[in-house]
Amino acid sequence: MMDKKPFLTEAQAQQILQDVPTPFHIYDEKGIRENARRINEAFSWNKGFREYFAVKALPNPYILQILREEGCGVDCSSFTELMLSEAVGFAGEEIMFSSNQTPSEDMKKAAQLGAYINLDDATMVDFLDRVAGVPETVFCRYNPGGTFSLGESEEGFQVMDRPGEAKYGMTEEQMADSFRRLKAKGARTFGIHAFLASNTISDEYYPQLAAILFRLAVRLSKAADVHIKYINLSGGVGIPYRPGQPENNIYAIGEGVRRQFEEILVPAGMGDVAIFTEMGRFMTGPYGALVSTAIHEKHIYKEYIGLDACAANLMRPAMYGAYHHITVLGKEDAPCDHTYDVVGGLCENNDKFAVDRMLPRIDIGDLIYIHDTGAHGSAMGYNYNGKLRSAEVLLCTDGEHRLIRRAETPQDYFATLDFTPFYKEMFPGEDEKK
Ligand SMILES: *Cc1c(COP(=O)(O)O)cnc(C)c1O
């Protein structure tokens, strides 16, 4: 069970406010490092194991650097994610490129970096050959179709629990055919990959997925007469967003995968397979928070608390109705005897971080800590209503803090518009040619 405690005290938050105004996302370096170490330990039984952090979850070079120091690689799916990873020093087998509907520029970039390329479709074999050439190692992404039952996602939002409805991956026949054609074009070692369910709270997800992929690997290596050396369990390991929700035990997950490995791959003579993962949410989700200030209160048919943050800073509640726990800093032990809707200022009625939430009495100026924004939080930010994306702060292991992304300014927001005829009015006193 997980009780929800902030990793930041009110005093620490006040300290940071001296340099960085709210709203900002803050990340806990210590938590991220310790979690990464647990994962590497849980899979240390597997010789070639590597976690490839899903960059889309938290695309910040400081975070990628921390994970690199902990032995992780990166999972990219776009040109800019590849650029970001390259800047941090990732190269070759430290990069997994799991994209879909891939533009040729992106594929070329991945090939140029020597990344492991994961093909989403059988038609990508010829595409890869044409735009970048077929490398020695290639992965293919599997879609078993039908439904994948492990219906334990708390969010009630398991995008990928009906693989038959998901746009990703290919059928088993297409995998075999792709492997044969890749082999004919010079590939020598192969990997398989699948992502079947999102935000799973179950120590059984990876083991069940592993069993499916291990059996598939045994069949494919015979059917296509190829050497399958890598099995990528992708992402989907979830975190408890709600208090009292059970938590995944990464050691039980690692052990569950090991049992399937011993049972299926070892007897098939495939004990040299390296296990890869591409977790995003589980890597950084709980080690991030959105810190915001209560700036207004409103009493109509319900009680509202208005924040200086909005859905542009954290889209999950508006987009999925996702629960994010809230703590009022400095009132951790106060009774939760008030019912509020905690809202942002977008002209959209779904811009609510919490609906009918029991919280302590909130006063204007209180610091509102929104939990678990470390993955798919800031990264999903957008600029609707001209709202500017907030800063990102790293709470370092030594207790210091560091601004790792500044807040956007109006200039950032306007940077792509053509203001030539209006420049003096927009930015008085600034040089037109800069
Ligand atoms: C999004 C994604 C991940 C990470 O998913 P999480 O749910 O954050 O673990 C991993 N691999 C691929 C291909 C993805 O698209």
Ligand 1 atom showing the smallest separation from residue 198 Cα: 7
Give the C-alpha separation, 305 to 295, whole Å: 8
Ligand 1 atom showing the smallest separation from residue 57 Cα: 8
Q: pLDDT tier at 426 (50, 70, 90 boundaries)?
A: confident
Query: Residue 194: exposed, middle, or buried by beta-carbon count in 10 A (0-12, 13-18, 19+)?
Result: buried
C-alpha 234 to ligand 1 mean position (Å): 6
pLDDT at 383 over 50: yes
pLDDT at 56 over 70: yes
Q: pTM for the full model?
A: 0.95
C-alpha 358 to ligand 1 mean position (Å): 32
C-alpha 42 to ligand 1 mean position (Å): 20
Non-local (6+) Cβ contacts of 398 within 8 A are none
| Residue whose CA is at the smallest distance from ligand 1 atom 13 | 98
Residue at token pair 């369910």: 197
pLDDT at 1 over 60: no
301-349 pLDDT, tens digit each: 999 999 999 999 999 999 999 999 999 999 999 999 999 999 999 999 9
Pair 237, 253: CB distance under 8 Å: yes
Averaged over 132-154, what is the pLDDT? 85
Name residue 295's amino acid.
I
C-alpha 305 to ligand 1 mean position (Å): 33
- Domains of the chain in start order, with CATH, are 29-283 (3.20.20.10), 286-414 (2.40.37.10)
pLDDT at 73 over 80: yes
C-alpha 77 to ligand 1 mean position (Å): 10
Residue at token pair 């560091």: 402
81-118 pLDDT, tens digit each: 999 999 999 999 999 999 999 999 999 999 999 999 99
Residue at token pair 């219906």: 151
pLDDT at 53 over 60: yes
Output the pLDDT for position 310.
98
288-309 pLDDT, tens digit each: 999 999 999 999 999 999 999 9
394-417 pLDDT, tens digit each: 999 999 999 999 999 999 999 999
Output the pLDDT for position 158.
46
Which of 55, 67, 279, 373 should be mutated for ligand 1, with most atoms under 8 A from CB? 279
Per the prediction, the chain carries an average pLDDT of: 95
C-alpha 312 to ligand 1 mean position (Å): 21
pLDDT at 223 over 50: yes
260-291 pLDDT, tens digit each: 999 999 999 999 999 999 999 999 999 999 99
20-38 pLDDT, tens digit each: 999 999 999 999 999 999 9
Ligand 1 atom showing the smallest separation from residue 285 Cα: 8
C-alpha 420 to ligand 1 mean position (Å): 41
- Within 6 Å (CB) of ligand 1, which residues are found? 54, 56-57, 75, 98, 195, 198, 234-237, 278-282, 375
Q: Count Cβ atoms below 10 Å from residue 1 Cβ, excluding itself.
A: 8
228-242 pLDDT, tens digit each: 999 999 999 999 999
Output the pLDDT for position 432.
59
Ligand 1 atom showing the smallest separation from residue 278 Cα: 10
189-213 pLDDT, tens digit each: 999 999 999 999 999 999 999 999 9
Helices 29-42, 61-69: inter-axial angle, 10-degree rounding: 40
Q: pLDDT tier at 159 (50, 70, 90 boundaries)?
A: very low
Which of 81, 195, 281, 287 should be mutated for ligand 1, with most atoms under 8 A from CB? 195
Q: Give the angle subtended at the CA of 121 by the CAs of 73 and 188, to the nearest 5°.
A: 60
